[in-house]
Amino acid sequence: MTLKELMEQAHLDALGLLEGPEAAAFERAFMQAPPAVKAQLRAEQARWASSEALLPEVNPPASLRQRVLEAVRRAMVDSSSSADAEVIELRPSRRVHPVWRAASLGLLAACVLLAAGFFGVKSRYDDMSAAMAQDQLLERMLATMGASYRHDVLFDSTTRRVVFEPQGADASFKAEVAMFTNPRWSNPLLVCANLPLHEGSTYRLVLLDGANKVADELAEFGPSVGGQIVSQKLKTQLSAGMRLALVEAPAGAAAKAEHILMLAVI
């Protein structure tokens, strides 16, 4: 059961609308959920359970039905006794009984409260989804590193991260690239995400010279679609001031500076 389905089932369960197999399925999914998700679900259920009734309880007086019937009967008698009334003109009433007016206002207020509650739940769900996506991305990134790299990236103050900046005006290019270096490492670590797949081409990490030309190719790798993380340990040591670029080139062909996608300075 997905997080969205769990959230929806939790709301129904709080309102007492789950029965039989649905209630059992929700309980099983709830017991298997992480502690953070369980806490969020219980908080949502408590919020719904503690709220006041959405619809007002309006009970019309017992005499209302009899008064309505009497008014209709008198109107029928009056209209039939009028001899010179050839055309009966039906006009809309300009007065509304207070009971119905109160019921309408109550229904409107309930709709407003329900809409506000829905948007509040959706906002919380979006926040939880974004947080879980970030956690999953971090887990995938750490899984691609070795134990020593993982420790140094997280806890070593001498580890340096350099983020590549996009070049050009292509707003559809959403790749993310970072270089990690540490004085104790013999191989810097390159981490990439969201590199789109283009048939017949690969991505290259290149070193640029003072004339902004490709001086050396440091690494070659493929795409990273669907949230996949690609990491690669470089065989070249990096020094301060080096200008690195991410370029795309046809498979088997040399990389060219004209195809720079992202740029970073060590």
Task: Let me know: does 143 contact 154? Beta carbons within 8 Å.
Answer: no
- More confident position, 262 or 105: 262
Q: Is the pLDDT of residue 266 over 80?
A: yes
Which range is most confident: 84-98, 123-137, 201-215, 228-242?
A: 201-215
Q: Give the count of beta carbons closer than 10 Å to the beta carbon of residue 147.
A: 7
Q: Crossing angle of helices 147-155/98-143, nearest 10°?
A: 120
Q: Is the pLDDT of residue 127 over 80?
A: no
pLDDT tens profile 173-222: 888 999 999 999 989 999 988 888 888 899 999 999 989 899 999 999 88
Task: Let me know: does 179 contact 189? Beta carbons within 8 Å.
Answer: yes
Closest CA to 202 of 186, 227, 219: 219
Burial 8-43 (b: 16+ CB within 10 A, else e): ebbbbbbeeebeeeeeeebeebbeebeeebeebbee
Helix (H) or strand (E) holding 236: none
pLDDT tens profile 53-98: 554 566 777 787 888 888 888 888 877 666 455 555 666 656 666 7
- The three-state secondary structure class of 62 is coil
Residues paired with 248 in a beta bridge:
203
Residue 217's pLDDT is 93
Closest CA to 41 of 18, 74, 17, 13: 13
What are the tokens at 145? 């590193």
